[in-house]
Structure 1
Amino acid sequence: MTEQVPTADLLIVGGGINGAAIARDAAGRGLSVLLCERDDIASHTSSASTKLIHGGLRYLEQFEFALVGKALAERKRLLRMAPHIIWPLRFVLPHQPHLRPAWMIRIGLFLYDRLGGRRGRGLPGSRSVNLRKHIAGRPLQDDFVRGFVYSDAWVQDARLCVLNAMDASERGATVLTRTACVSATRGEHDWQVQLRGADGAPRTVRARALVNATGPWAARFLDEVAHVPHNHTLRLIKGSHIVVPKLFDHDHAYIFQQPDRRIVFAIPYEHDYTLIGTTDVDYREDPSSPRIDQAETQYLCEAASRYFKRPIRPDDVVWTYSGVRPLLDDDSDQASEITRDYLLTLDRQGAPLLNVFGGKLTTSRKLAEEACDTLSPLFGAPRPAWTGGAPLPGGDLPDANFEAFHEDFSLRRPWLPDALALRLCRNYGSRALRIVESCSHLEELGERFGSDLYAAEVDYLIDFEWARTAEDILWRRSKLGLRIDAQGQRRLQEYVAMRLGGADGEV
């Protein structure tokens, strides 16, 4: 006999950024919410981005002014909501006249500044620079003389998803990871849904409305799980990135124009590395496990080598990752030209079904607000939209000032190594206090698994952030997989399994 649970207002299928953000908004409006994710939070597309909160400068060429304006407005909000995991980043665009004339770039940056409200929080405007005098010109080939500098922001993408899910949970939502939605049967007034957990046991739940936030699987979900006819087409695009030892010693990022008119970023990454990406390749295989191919690796190496004095070769690559972006198919010839905007559709042919198509990290809060504005009237939700000024967990820093918080945190704990104190503040903001609050010596953080990962942090991630495997911890809750050797990873796997009572802690 399957377990019966009370009917929820919303059942959200998908634990990427859209599903987590909708769960947060809906729970804060007083709706009863159940979110299920078949794997880990942010285990697919939402942890495989270029990790930027940005308006999309290149979208101006495609006349996507509304999308860019919406994204830049969200950039300003997100910098205040999560100043620990989102911070300003200056980008350098070396000028190549034969690709885009200087006047076109100047106009684009002028619009970008104005659409962003001239000045976002802590974000200076764009300007022209002499690369022979600017620090960012030193790693570049000598024939790059002129460049442009503008502002956007960096984000720890998987943590943004986790924090949305945490806030949803703390506001009353039920979040089930490693739980697949295997069937959904529509009635006139509600949905009967069968879920299957990691142990294979079925669970039947009812929901007054269903939210399809399954990302690359959105169309397949309608076809194979909900059995709802539709005419929506998603174009799946694989984006791949490479990580190499750091190529420069400053804190600016680069945006490089390519002969095919695409752009590639080179971004400071985890202190000792440079992140280079992304590709845009049509993808027709299983979205669960995309992998970079040799042609993509070569493309990214060549794209960066066109600009840097030091050539980048495939042998330099220390790590890669790929994700599949579900973009609305607008019949564009080039994958890079497809709109990054989103579409929400409400199907009322029986119990409500809200479908989420497309979207990006930067506009996820706005997407969720629009989704809940659509759904809330169906349930008479007592509370209005609220997320625009509410900090995410750990983001409640005075005046959203990360530097002041980090300085105070470190001064009060001189026993913490500087690098560890900074990483804890960056990952957890004010929640870092929960990890170290009972400690007064480094040894009290418990077993060290390698680099600066200690048992106290692992315990926190298991207890509060749904970490269930070593991979969750090393590659999504952090990027310590770049630094912890095989022996440390095996020991972490054993520890996680022990904490979970023998559950799988695989890397």
Structure 2
Amino acid sequence: MKDAYRSDADAGADALRECDVLVVGGGINGAGIARDLAGRGMRVLLCEKDDLGAHTSSASSKLIHGGLRYLEHREFGLVRKALAEREVLLCSAAHIMHPLRFVMPHDSSQRPAWLIRAGLFLYDRLAPRAFLPPSSAVELAAHQAGGALKPAFRRGFVYSDGWVDDARLVVLNALDAHERGATVLTHTRCTAFERHPGHWTATLGQDEGGRQRSMRVRARCLVNAAGPWAAQVARAATGAAPRRRLRLVKGSHIVVPRLFEHKYAYIFQHPDGRIVFAMPYEGAFTLIGTTDVEFQGDPDTVAIAGTETAYLCELANRYFRRQIAPADVVWSYSGVRPLLEDEAASASAATRDYLLGRDSAGAPLLSVFGGKITTYRRLAEEAADWVAGALGRTRPGWTARAVLPGGDLFGSTPGSRAVLEFDRWVGALGRRHPWLPGSLALRWARAYGTRVEILLAGATCLDDLGDEVAPGLYAAELRYLMRHEWAGCAEDVLWRRSKLGLHLPPGCADAIAAWMAAARAQAGRAALIEPA
């Protein structure tokens, strides 16, 4: 194993790094493209100006879904593509994804029942559905999910989609890319581009523990996967704005103490035509979202507005017996979605499909515009097909038949067994490590899958995990996150690699930051750039 704190940037500021593809942007699209290309034998360097998935990709509704509401906008192709990907993804990483059943109470003042039935009939049949149960109508008074709703809602519908830990999905794609040979540099910004007939030269600026350093990279192809900043990167690279405009839309979510005890989620209709989800979250909470608000500001400083919080509370109160107010919100998050401008009248009606901007006027440039988390793998595959062809390195796609790191619960071939038998796998983990508390074993199983054995290597009791830096957070886990998952600060650990920030008492972030700083100092490094 490589030195845990060795940086691939150690070649020096004046050295020229060589690669086939430079990927700008460490969100889900950039990480997915880097993974696919690395698996095809390409030399890939991915740079991200902040942490992996720090922006849009960790601020989603956490769903792997076809997009039921997109049927109303006649986006049948997008829904079919997303539904097909839904099951591919669920089989690739059963530790960070799982099926989820949604209850839609019927509001007679909104969409008529016949229209919902027709939509769900189509939703069930637009793509193959191997193991998810079909939709059905239900009497809410007799259904487990009906008790949390107001008595006025008597009938409803139930259908299937999937849940994903979005931030961990980004990290696992980057980890797979890295283990297939890619270099992944976080806190590294592209500051300049030069285009030549056969290659790009880029200058990267890296923030290493408060010290600035730069390096130059020569790449045969540039991939612009900068999300909300994609238009800016395209302009910096070519000197011209992209031909297809992006529409920046802010989506916000709130988290409140648990409003129901069961495992179902809800999809609610609003009088303005929008829909909002309410889902079980982190055991003790309910996640409610999302809004769709046109955004004109700086994506680095996006935050929920008071009007958005009030909107989500109002919609929840329309349906739930237990009423909530803004004061009940324990956490909120917002992200800016870069949607394709399609002249839709409202932000909620704007397409969630993607476009790959292909530019061969000189060294190849591929720009990613739009997209949604469910179709990221398909997007990455299409992007990699074009890049490989442009570089004369045509190799077939492979990710549809591969699991993500930790997802090989029952072998390296993806399949529904891991999805359907995850609890059985967790039970086996507990029997292998009977000294491990059940709640910790489950959390680690959900986060790391089979990689939990790397974290547990050599441990035979709790004391072997090292200091308990915060309740339930041991030194062994922090060391793993720093060495293998690019975690550089307490926020990375508490809000992206996990959601422990919701559960731990005040002051824990300081203790975690102090431990991480001491670990870096002991290793003789000012910052962690590249994992082992």
TM-score by length of 2: 0.93
* Equivalent position of 1:281 in the other structure: 293
The question of 1:128 aligning with 2:137 is answered: yes
Matched residues in 1 for 2:46 and 2:168: separation? 17
Please state whether the residue corresponding to 2:374 is helix, strand or coil: coil
Please state whether the residue corresponding to 1:97 is helix, strand or coil: coil
Per-residue deviation at 1:404? 2.2
Matched residues in 2 for 1:76 and 1:339: separation? 22
Matched residues in 1 for 2:16 and 2:438: separation? 48
Q: Confirm or deny: 8 A CA contact 1:7 1:207 kept in the other structure.
A: yes
The question of 1:404 aligning with 2:415 is answered: no
Please state whether the residue corresponding to 1:3 is helix, strand or coil: coil
Q: Confirm or deny: 8 A CA contact 2:200 2:363 kept in the other structure.
A: yes
Matched residues in 1 for 2:467 and 2:138: separation? 49
* Equivalent position of 2:337 in the other structure: 325
Matches within 5 A, 1:235-384: 235-381=247-393, 383-384=395-396
Q: What code does the residue aligned with 1:120 have?
A: A
Q: What code does the residue aligned with 1:62 have?
A: H
* Equivalent position of 2:493 in the other structure: 473
Matched residues in 1 for 2:438 and 2:214: separation? 47
* Equivalent position of 2:179 in the other structure: 170
Q: Confirm or deny: 8 A CA contact 2:354 2:369 kept in the other structure.
A: yes
The question of 1:33 aligning with 2:53 is answered: no
Matched residues in 2 for 1:130 and 1:450: separation? 45
Q: Confirm or deny: 8 A CA contact 2:100 2:161 kept in the other structure.
A: yes
Per-residue deviation at 1:503? 4.3
* Equivalent position of 1:464 in the other structure: 484
The question of 1:436 aligning with 2:445 is answered: no
Matches within 5 A, 1:41-56: 41-56=52-67
Matched residues in 2 for 1:448 and 1:49: separation? 31
* Equivalent position of 1:222 in the other structure: 234
Per-residue deviation at 1:179? 0.4
Q: Confirm or deny: 8 A CA contact 2:470 2:512 kept in the other structure.
A: no
Matched residues in 2 for 1:62 and 1:155: separation? 25
Q: Confirm or deny: 8 A CA contact 1:449 1:489 kept in the other structure.
A: no
Matched residues in 1 for 2:394 and 2:453: separation? 34
CA deviation digits over 1:116-174, x for unaligned, max 9?
Answer: 32x333x1000001001101000100000000000000000000000000000000000
Per-residue deviation at 1:32? 0.7
Matches within 5 A, 1:18-167: 18-117=29-128, 119-121=129-131, 123-167=132-176
Per-residue deviation at 1:28? 0.4
Q: Confirm or deny: 8 A CA contact 1:69 1:116 kept in the other structure.
A: yes
Please state whether the residue corresponding to 1:60 is helix, strand or coil: helix
Matched residues in 1 for 2:358 and 2:107: separation? 46
Q: What code does the residue aligned with 1:175 have?
A: V
Q: Confirm or deny: 8 A CA contact 1:449 1:484 kept in the other structure.
A: no
Q: What code does the residue aligned with 1:487 have?
A: G
Matched residues in 1 for 2:491 and 2:172: separation? 18
* Equivalent position of 1:8 in the other structure: 19
Q: What code does the residue aligned with 1:480 have?
A: L
Please state whether the residue corresponding to 1:456 is helix, strand or coil: helix
Per-residue deviation at 1:226? 4.5
Matched residues in 2 for 1:142 and 1:283: separation? 37
* Equivalent position of 2:437 in the other structure: 417
Q: Confirm or deny: 8 A CA contact 1:242 1:276 kept in the other structure.
A: yes
Please state whether the residue corresponding to 2:122 is helix, strand or coil: helix
* Equivalent position of 1:191 in the other structure: 200
Q: What code does the residue aligned with 2:76 have?
A: F
TM-score by length of 1: 0.97
Per-residue deviation at 1:89? 0.4
CA deviation digits over 1:54-93, x for unaligned, max 9?
Answer: 0000000011111001001101101110010010000000
Matched residues in 1 for 2:257 and 2:282: separation? 10
Matched residues in 2 for 1:504 and 1:281: separation? 37
Q: Confirm or deny: 8 A CA contact 1:46 1:361 kept in the other structure.
A: yes
**Cα RMSD between the aligned structures?**
1.3
Q: Confirm or deny: 8 A CA contact 1:16 1:46 kept in the other structure.
A: yes
Please state whether the residue corresponding to 1:200 is helix, strand or coil: strand
Per-residue deviation at 1:437? 2.6
Matched residues in 2 for 1:339 and 1:40: separation? 27
Q: What code does the residue aligned with 1:110 have?
A: F
Q: What code does the residue aligned with 2:482 have?
A: I
Per-residue deviation at 1:13? 0.1
Matched residues in 2 for 1:390 and 1:2: separation? 37
The question of 1:491 aligning with 2:500 is answered: no
CA deviation digits over 1:199-249, x for unaligned, max 9?
Answer: 311101100010000000011112235524432211100000000000000
Q: What code does the residue aligned with 1:30 have?
A: G
Deviates more, 1:394-403 or 1:316-325: 394-403
Q: Confirm or deny: 8 A CA contact 1:109 1:126 kept in the other structure.
A: yes
Matched residues in 1 for 2:297 and 2:520: separation? 34
Per-residue deviation at 1:346? 0.8
Aligned to 2:404, which of 388, 392, 398? 392
Per-residue deviation at 1:382? 5.5
Q: Confirm or deny: 8 A CA contact 2:187 2:206 kept in the other structure.
A: yes
Between Structure 1 and Structure 2, how many residues are aligned? 503
Deviates more, 1:487-496 or 1:31-40: 487-496
Q: What code does the residue aligned with 2:105 have?
A: P
Matched residues in 2 for 1:266 and 1:443: separation? 39
